[in-house]
Amino acid sequence: MVRYYSNIVGKYGKFVQKALKKLESFEISTICSTHGPVWREKTAEVIDIYDRLSRYEPLDDGVTIVYGSMYGNTEQMAEAAADGLAAAGVRDISVLNASNTDLSYIIADIFRHRGLVIAAPTYSDGLFPPVAAVMEAIAVRGVQNREVLLLGSHTWSQQAIKVMTAHIEASGLSTVADAVSAKHAPAPDVLTQCRQS
């Protein structure tokens, strides 16, 4: 249900809110979206989830970690962040490789979780294309109310963090800590930063 909502309806939150207001005095026994699942059971629960998602309210306190990695360096940073979150007691952590995970699953987890870590290498003086697609999807859907951390790796110039920061700010999101940057392979102190951020 979250995957359907976040990918098909996601950017229309304000319209969903208007529709829910109009229907709040009715007893609803079936929900038939135009091209999504039909709900004949648990309709009150479904409406509650639609209500929360349309207000861009996360459904739980989990964290989605989305990364792209060319040589494994950024992947190490993402895994270190996951280790740190698990050590801090976060139990629902999704670690998703943007290069081989369908975007629809990534967006669904971003809608579901309160935390979002995005990790990418600099690629041709810009952002690694699979992560750029995730950033664009976040902007198109107007995702709000997330706690964001950015991780980036580079060789000559750290452009990935600059590009991701611009995307996050343009989307109206903000970061919860300073971005963590690695030149070449992440040194042990950088991996420690990833765990602690």
What residues does 20 pair with on adjacent strands?
none
Pair 91, 15 in one domain = no
CA distance 195 to 111: 23
- Do both 87 and 39 map to the same domain? no
Are residue 127 and residue 48 in the same domain, yes or no?
no
User: Within this chain, do residues 92 and 166 fall inside the same structural domain, yes or no?
Assistant: yes
Q: How many domains does the chain fold into?
A: 2
In terms of domains, do 69 and 48 share one?
A: no
Over residues 36-44, the mean pLDDT reads 90
Q: Is residue 9 located within the same domain as residue 102?
A: no
**Taking the CB of residue 38, how many other CB atoms lie within 10 A of it?**
8
Q: Read off the pLDDT of residues 136-189 as tens digits, 9 standing for 90 and up.
A: 999 999 999 999 999 999 999 999 999 999 999 999 998 999 999 999 999 999
Angle at 145 between CA 111 and CA 133, to 5 degrees: 50
Question: For the whole prediction, is pTM greater than 0.85?
Answer: yes
User: Domain span at residue 104?
Assistant: 60-196
Residue range 102-136, pLDDT digits in tens = 999 999 999 999 999 999 999 999 999 999 999 99
> Any bridge partners for residue 152, and if so which?
120, 181
What CATH number is associated with residue 111?
3.40.50.360
18 pLDDT more than 80: yes
Do the beta carbons of residue 54 and residue 162 sit within 8 Å? no
Q: Does 65 lie in the same domain as 26?
A: no
Judge contact between 50 and 57, C-beta under 8 A: no
